[in-house]
Every structure is written in C-alpha cells, then in structure tokens.
Structure 1
Amino acid sequence: MFGSLPLAALRTFESAARLRSFKAAAEDLAVTPTAVSHQVRRLEQQLGVALFRRVARGVEVTEAGERLFRSLHGALLDISHAFHSLRPQPDPAGLVITTTHSFAALWLVPRLGRFYRRHPELSLRLDTNPAPLDLQQDASVDVAIRYGDKEYPDLHQVGGLAESFGAYCAPQLAPAGKQLPAALLTVRWHNSMLYDRAWERWCLAAGADWLSDSMPVHAYEEENYALQAAIAGQGMVLASSILVSDTLRNGLLIAYRPEVQVPGARYTVLCKPGRERHPPVRAFLDWLREEL
C-alpha cells in the first residue's frame, strides 16, 4: 500500500518546508543542498505541481506545498512519538514547558495542582531559561509560553493572555490624599521596547507628579522580586495585571486607583504544528485553555 511513496523525498521536503531553506535542510539531514534540490524536484515531478517558489533570498512554499507540509509534518510527528514510546525507558519528564521565570512563579505554578489532580499520570518540567529557543528545531520542548507582541505564523497558537499595568501596594500603605508612597518599585525589562518608561506613563495617565518630587525608584530584575518588595511594604509597585492576580486575590496587595491602567504586552501559548495532537500535550493545552 505504501510501496510507491517516495519516503526519502518526502522527508527531505518536510525539512526544507519546515526550515524554509534548502541549505538549512541539507544541514538538518546531513546531505548537500544539491541532494535536497534533487529530491524536491523528483517529488514535484511525481506530483505534477510546484512545491516551492524560488525567490531572491531562498525559497517559499506554494499553496500545494503548504497542504502537503501540514499533513506530512503531523504524520512524521506521530510516527516519531510512536517510535520513542516503544523505548524501554521513556522520558520521565512527560512534558516540557518553556516560559518566563516570573510567569511560571506567579501564574502557572500556583495553578498546576489542578492539572495534576486531573492528570496524575503526567509530569511537567518547567524550563525558564531566558535564552532564545526555536520550537521548529528543538524537539525537546512541547509548549512555549512567550511574552511580547511578536507574531508566530509558523507555529500553532493555542491561546493567550493580554495584560495591562497598574499600581499596587500593601493594604496598610495605600496613599491617602496628597500622601506620597515611600518609593516606586519597577522591573528592569529585558526588552525595553515592550514597556519603556513604565512609571512615567502611569503617572501621566493618573495625573500624578510623583516622579517630579524626586521619588526614589527601586528596580528589580524579576517581577516576582518587585512584588515581594511591595508586599513587604517597601513602596508602590507597577505590575502586570496577570502576574499580580493571585497576590490580589490573597489580599497581600491592593490596587491603587484601579481605574488607571496602561497597556502592556501579552503571553502567547505556542507549540510546533502537529504537536498539539500528542495526547499529553493535548491534555495540558485543554487544561490551559480553561485556566486562561
């Protein structure tokens, strides 16, 4: 039944379509770019349709090529999962989720108890390494939760959370009248393009002149540290509505002038196309959709 399928050419096509490059596919498969081109040409001749368009900076996948890639990539991923599931000692981690340290600590981990109660047979490993990671290349990661405004057209998007920023403090330290907070707390954003001059924007929206009064500003490397400083009564923190949500619910912080909010970025849930069909991944994504 499958004797006529050109398996080598299909595997070569999948790599070239996934990487959008014959050269990168050659490196991925440990062959020459000429060999990749030959296999793709053979597949196009057999199908009678063009799978790629040659452009100045490489290749683009045609509509027919995109249809073939979606089916082929998912099928190969299923075969890979079946193959690895037969090994005597499967990976005990089960699922690998990569996200930011603050999102893991302040939003995801406090909710994981509900996931484990529903799926006691599964286990998660959280990767909070800030180094860039390519989901198309790294098969060790199942789901990524990315922060920012970037679009990911080549990945499967499951859902997302949009945030805004507001001012929060310990209940006993809420300023009254013209009283000023002891200090302003903020975070040294790793990507300043996402949210630069944060307190200036909030003060402008609130009509507050705190910064012009030589107010001390204390910056922390992580949102978690800034929130802990606010809980300890060290000042007013500018925080993400998403990351501060559990702290508010527990009464450790309160919103100061909650009607004043300035826009932030968003958290986007992503995985490699086809990976969402893997049963443990599907279980995690279904649960995450409910939490979102």
Structure 2
Amino acid sequence: MAVQTPIRGLRSFCIAAKCLSFKHAASKLFLTPSAVSHQIKQLEEQLGFDLFTRQTRAIELTSAGKRFYHAIQPIITDLESTIDDFTNSKQNKTITISLPEFFASELFVPSLSDWTQAHPDINLQLETVKTGSQAAASADLSIVLSRGRPNSPVITDLFPVRYVPACNKRLYRKWASEGFKALKTVPLILHQSRPWAWHQWADEVGVPDFDPKQIIQFDSMFGVARAAQQGMGIALIPLPISQTWFKEQLLVRLYEEELVTNDRYFLVQHENLEQSDELLKFANWMQETFCDLY
C-alpha cells in the first residue's frame, strides 16, 4: 500500500529549506521547532534518504534535498496559490469610497439600501472628507465636487450644482414680502470654498447697492444649512443635494433667483487601480441613481 505524504510535511520542508532553520520555519508555520523536525523526519523516512545534514546549531540541505526542493517547491507554491484563490472567491469584495460629508449624509446614505440589496456580496468602506479637501489616498473611488473636470483617466459625470438663497420659516415670514431689504439686515451665510458667492449671486440678480451687514463662512456645507435652519441668517444652499431640507420645510427659498456655477459632482476612479467588476457595478449604480437629479 502506498503511503500518503501529508501536505503539511512538504510545506514545512520547503520553508525550512528556504530559511535553513527549523526554528524560523516553526515561527512562520506557528508550530514548535520539534513539530517541524518531526514532520520532516517522517518525510525523510518515506522518501528513503536524508533531506538535511543536521549540525548542532545549523542545518544544510543534502544534495538529494536540494534536488527534491527544486522539484517540489513550485508545486507547493501553485497549490497554495490555488487554495488562496478559492478561499478569497468566497469572501466579499470591499470597495473603499471617499466622498464629501454633505453628499454622504444627504444623498448617498439615504440611497444606500438599494445598493446593499442589489449587491450583498460587495462590502463598502466609506471615508468622508470636507468639501474641497483631497480624497483619501487609500480610496478605490472618490466622489468629488469640482469646478472643472478632474484629472483622472476614468470619470463619471454625476450632476451639476446650483445655489439658492434660503432661510428658516420664521425669517421667511418676516422678509418674504420685503424684497432685497433682508440682505442688508441679517447675516449672509456661505461655504468658505466660495467666499464671493453672495456677491456673484447679487451681480447676476442685479441687486442694487449690495452691501451685506455680515457674512459668515463655514468649512462644512452641513454647517451652512444647519445655521440657516436655526435662524442665524440667509444661506446659499446647494441643490439638488439639499432637496430633503426643502421637502421637510427645514429650509425655505427666500428668493427664486439661483446662482448657477460650474460646480459639478464627479465619480473618480484612481489611475493606479485596474478596472474590476465590482468597481464597474458601483459606477453604473451611481450613474443610474444620481445622474438624473438635476
């Protein structure tokens, strides 16, 4: 009857032959040196020749051991690679996405259940950044707000952004019938990435003698919207990304005139990544979900 050779014995031999140390091989295999020595001894008995010359503090491959190593090592490497491939194929793939905080809270997260139901085998790791900040370097894909097309080989154009003057219902009731007088009376709120946005809006609308009482800048769009909702003043609010604030009447348009800019949201795939089925599925879902918002 043929004696079967345990795979673990062959693997222990290959690692010991590479580092020429039972102790180091044991460390890599999470075994004791004596366990490694025993496995290799069993292999030598089955083969009928010594694989190592054992000295007090060192081991050396015998001539037969060297030939056996060169013959068996590629086979063991291929076998381990095959096992890893089949193991990984059973695990969910993970996509890391960098996206602005406001986009994440107002649009992405409310729509995320549709993605998870359609693609239960793909995990998402979300890394939020402030508007205008650089995307996380570790991200597979990034959602960015940009005034021009980002410099990247794979870009999906999502939708443009426009800005509307808005406040809470209390301020609206007070100033809706007063025209542009409120602009000189209450603070005007905006995002610091667009410090001249109110002046641009006033120029386009034709506001006479535009001289705001006070301008308050925030480094997050959520801060802008929240300050307006709390009654701090009138804010330039981005649409369509803030549409829920208006649907729930947390904010109300004070003026119908909008500031139209070149700002657009893009989905960016980074150039150091190869196209994959998971990334393509996600890009297609993003396009189907958000491209018609405008």
The TM tier, using the shorter chain, reads: 0.5 to 0.7
Q: Could you tell me whether the CA contact under 8 Å between 2:92 and 2:121 is conserved in 1?
A: no
Matched, 1:117 2:117: yes
Using structure 2 for the length normalisation, give the TM-score.
0.58
Q: Could you tell me whether the CA contact under 8 Å between 1:84 and 1:90 is conserved in 2?
A: no
Q: Where does structure 1 lack aligned partners over 5 or more consecutive residues?
A: 1-81, 190-194
Counterpart residue identity of residue 112, structure 2: L
Match for residue 223 of structure 2 among 222, 225, 241:
225
Matched, 1:208 2:204: no
Residue aligned with 1:159, SS: strand
Q: Which residue of 2 aligns with 1:268?
A: 266
Structure 2 matches for 1:186-265, cutoff 5 A? 186-189=190-193, 195-209=194-208, 211-212=210-211, 214-265=212-263
Q: Please identify runs of 4+ aligned residues in structure 1 that moved more than 4 A.
A: 82-93, 273-277
Q: Which residue of 2 aligns with 1:108?
A: 108
Counterpart residue identity of residue 112, structure 1: L
Deviation at 1:209, TM superposition (A): 5.0
Counterpart residue identity of residue 289, structure 2: E
Q: Which residue of 1 aligns with 2:128?
A: 128
Post-superposition CA distance 1:191-247 (Å, at most 9, x none): xxxx441111112223335852x5222211100011011111221111221332221
In 2 relative to 1, CA 155–261 (structure 1 residues): closer, same or farther, beyond 3 Å? same
Post-superposition CA distance 1:30-66 (Å, at most 9, x none): xxxxxxxxxxxxxxxxxxxxxxxxxxxxxxxxxxxxx
Using structure 1 for the length normalisation, give the TM-score.
0.58
What count of residue pairs does the alignment treat as equivalent?
A: 201
Post-superposition CA distance 1:238-285 (Å, at most 9, x none): 122133222122222122222333324111112146968523222222
Counterpart residue identity of residue 281, structure 2: A
Q: Which residue of 2 aligns with 1:185?
A: 189
State the distance in 2 between where 1:274 and 1:118 align.
27
Q: Where does structure 2 lack aligned partners over 5 or more consecutive residues?
A: 1-81
Residue aligned with 2:177, SS: coil
State the distance in 2 between where 1:276 and 1:161 align.
25
Match for residue 171 of structure 1 among 166, 169, 172:
169
State the distance in 1 between where 2:244 and 2:84 align.
38
In 2 relative to 1, CA 91–220 (structure 1 residues): closer, same or farther, beyond 3 Å? farther
In 2 relative to 1, CA 277–252 (structure 1 residues): closer, same or farther, beyond 3 Å? same
